[in-house]
Chain A
Amino acid sequence: MRTHALTTPLTEDNAENLRAGDVVYLTGTLYTAREDAHQRILDDLDRGVSPPFPLEGAVIYYVGPSPMTPDRPIGAAGPSSASRMDPFAARLHAAGVRATIGKGRRSPELRSDLARLRAVYLGATGGAGALLSLRIKSARAIAYPELGPEAVFALTVEDFPLVVLCDCHGGDIHATPDLGAALS
């Protein structure tokens, strides 16, 4: 297990250098998006409209934060289940998105897409919404405000703590359930 301090936007070299199980502290800009925002971004691309943020080297955080309190830039902001975004992810990676952040396993198709498109899937601790929000220094809505908390926000983060869950070399650190042992 190695530790990396990386800054966005991420390069293809950054992605290739990461292995499943490595720890990453990420600084820079994350763009939030869940299903509806993904659909809008892909619709924009289909219509030849510029996406709401530069996709090249971008990192997308699957998050639906709780409302902002008066004295903080954002509410609790832990990761959403990533598998819901599997149908959208390959096209965004093909357009330059270098990493996504979520929780839980990805589909086998998406894992092979990561290898093909030189991108990575990073995990934040599921449920640690208050802790993770401390590493978010500012949040600014940049697109699709009609989606409310699911609009696209640009988050400025410092040393955002992550683990490489799936790398671009076929590695995936999720443990396979040992049904044989459990039922013996």
Chain B
Amino acid sequence: MRIIAAQTVIDEVAALCIDANRILPPDIRRAFLHRRSQETPMGRESLRQLSDNAELSATLGLPLCQDCGVAVFHVEKGQDVRVADMPLRQAINEGMVRGYREGYLRKSTCDPFSRVNRGDNSPAVIHFDVVPGDCLRIVMTPEGASADNASKVAMLRPSLGFEGVRDFVVGCVSEAAHGVCAPVLVGVGAGGSFELAALNAKKALLRPLDDVHPDPALALLEDMLLESVNKLGTGPLGLGGRTTCLGVKVLSAPCHPDAMPLAVYIQCHCARKREVLL
């Protein structure tokens, strides 16, 4: 059994929170540059500002966006590794609180009813998977309110097939096009169960933008969905143009024959994420 000190996890998680909020992922940066040439003058200007924003954020030590989100973690824990001294959940939370404080990140979490802010962004939302091996992989994604607010879960009629999925995804983006900071990324969780679909919609976006789905049918579905969504013509910031969406990623899971759970996660253009492998 490999052992990792809790302090290592705390230190790494604090750094993840700061870096995820300050550093635009390289695949997103490339997509901004690539898409600029195809855009309207207004769209080009928006994408230029977003590229400049990423440069400044990295050099000035400011977050990319003032909404530093709820801290969501996807953790893969090898079955042959254990964290000493402290429960893993506690270590991640301590690291998150430190990172949000030391990185001057906005603390968002509040009571759902009184709306009173908790002051330290706790607790983190943490999803654990146990996997083979002796490594610990921690992915951090700050999830802003606009993205969560625009996202949906539906229980579709199974007979609707790919076309039903397309109609629902396009409808979601169409409704969100003026509220979320477009160009968006779309994560689709297909199948599984009601709650797994929602989690998979977020996990789908952990793949890099230029990654091609290993299942050819789903790779085709991702391309088809991207093309359909971009035909909406709402473009960057909803002001018109070809780039409403930078990429669609699908994660599917087997489901009940009588059901077709479908979740659509609409992520804002910066699609912040950062990971560490311990």
Contact = CB atoms under 8 A, between A and B. Distances in A.
Interface of A: 1, 21, 63-69, 72, 75-78, 81, 83, 103-105, 123, 125-131, 133-134, 148-149, 161, 163, 165, 173-179, 181-184
Contacts of A65: 66, 106
Contact of A66 (B46, B104, B179): B104
B268 A133 contact: no
A125 B62 contact: no
Contacts of A76: 57, 62-66
In which size bucket is the chain B interface?
35 or more
Interface string B49-83: 11011001100111111111000000000000000
Contact of B66 (A72, A75, A178, A181): A75
B152 interface: no
A105 B64 contact: no
A6 B225 CA distance: 43
Contact of B179 (A21, A77, A105): A105
B237 A129 contact: no
Nearest to A65: B66
Q: Which of A65, A125, A130, A133 has the most CB of B within 10 A?
A: A130
B166 A129 contact: no
Interface of B: 41-42, 46, 49-50, 52-53, 56-57, 60-68, 104-106, 117, 146, 166-167, 170-171, 173-174, 177-179, 181, 228-229, 231-235, 237-241, 268-270
Contact of B53 (A123, A128, A165, A175): A128
A81 B150 CA distance: 12
Nearest to B233: A178
- Tell me whether chain A's interface is mostly helix, strand or loop, or mixed: loop
Contacts of B241: 175
A125 B56 CA distance: 15
Contact of A105 (B61, B178, B235): B178
A149 B52 contact: no
Contacts of B237: 103, 123, 125-126
Given A126-B237, A173-B42, A181-B231, 19 more contacts: A67-B106, A78-B65, A103-B181, A103-B237, A104-B238, A125-B50, A126-B146, A126-B268, A128-B49, A128-B50, A130-B53, A130-B62, A130-B63, A148-B117, A163-B42, A163-B239, A173-B240, A175-B235, A182-B229
A164 to B, nearest CB: 11
B106 A66 contact: yes
Given A128-B53, A175-B240, A179-B170, A72 B60 contact: yes
A163 B43 CA distance: 12
10 contacts: A78-B67, A81-B179, A105-B179, A125-B46, A125-B237, A134-B56, A179-B170, A179-B232, A182-B170, A183-B170
